Amino acid sequence: MPMVEVAGKSFEVDEEGYLTNLNDWNQDIAEYLAKEEKVEMTESHWDVVNFLREYYDEYQIAPAVRVLTKAVAKKLGPEKGNNKYLYELFPYGPAKQACKIAGLPKPTGCI
């Protein structure tokens, strides 16, 4: 598996650049992964990423898009609680790109 070096620490990632070990995640690697994805992290991005990690911690899976949009609406206001806004934050698709930055495994299936 490939390794990446960020802020003096090395991280194992898979061939698609997803972090192999969930517990390795920290802010530095998140910034690095975001940069790789050409996503500039703002406070809203961090809110989404942190929510993903909390949800994953409880359910061992990333939240469904509806669950995520509701959480975003609660935190950032109802006008932002929709799929379109999430795509603005994470243009390649909130499920995959946001999970990658949050250090979660890639969601699979017909999505």
Partner 1 sequence: MAVAEFVIPELTEYTVVPKINPGAMEKVKSFVAPQGPQEYLGYPWELGADWKERAIDKMGDLLGKYRSLRVFMDACVHCGACTDKCHYFLGTADPNNMPVARQDLMRKVYRRYFTLPGKIAPWLVGAEDLTEDVLNQWYTYYHQCSECRRCSVYCPYGIDTAEVTMAGREILNYVGVGQKYSNEILVKVQKIGNNLGLPGPALEDTLLGLEEDIEADTGVPVKMPLDVVGAEIMLVTPSADFFSEPHVESLIGYAKVFHAAGVSWTLSSKASEAGNFGLFNGSYETMQKVAMRIRDAALELGCKRIIVGECGHAWRVAYSFWNTLTGIGYGGEDPFSKKLQQQLDNRYPQPMHICEYTWDLIESGVLKFDKSLNDNRVITFHDSCNVARGSRMGTEPGGQFTIPRNIIRAVANNFQDMPDDTIGEGTFCCGGGGGLLTDDLIEVRVKGALPRMNAYNSVVKGNQVNFLALICAICKAQFTKVFPYYGFDRGQVGGVHQLVSTAIKLD
Beta strand 3-6 with 9-12 is: antiparallel
With binding defined as CB under 8 A, does residue 67 bind partner 1?
yes
Q: Contact with partner 1 (CB under 8 A): which of 2, 21, 74, 92?
A: 92
Q: Contact with partner 1 (CB under 8 A): which of 21, 27, 50, 60?
A: 60
Told to judge if 110 belongs to the known catalytic residues of this protein, a careful annotator would answer: yes
Nearer to partner 1, 8 or 22 (CB): 22
Contacts of 58 (CB under 8 A, 6+ apart): none
With binding defined as CB under 8 A, does residue 16 bind partner 1?
yes
Cβ atoms within 10 Å, residue 92: 13
With binding defined as CB under 8 A, does residue 40 bind partner 1?
no
In b/e form, how buried is each residue of 22-43, taking b as 16+ CB within 10 angstroms?
eeebeeebbbbbbeebebebee
Q: Which residues are catalytically annotated?
A: 110
Q: Which residues bind to partner 1, rule: CB under 8 A? A: 15-17, 36-39, 59-61, 63-67, 70, 83-84, 87, 91-93, 95-97, 107-111
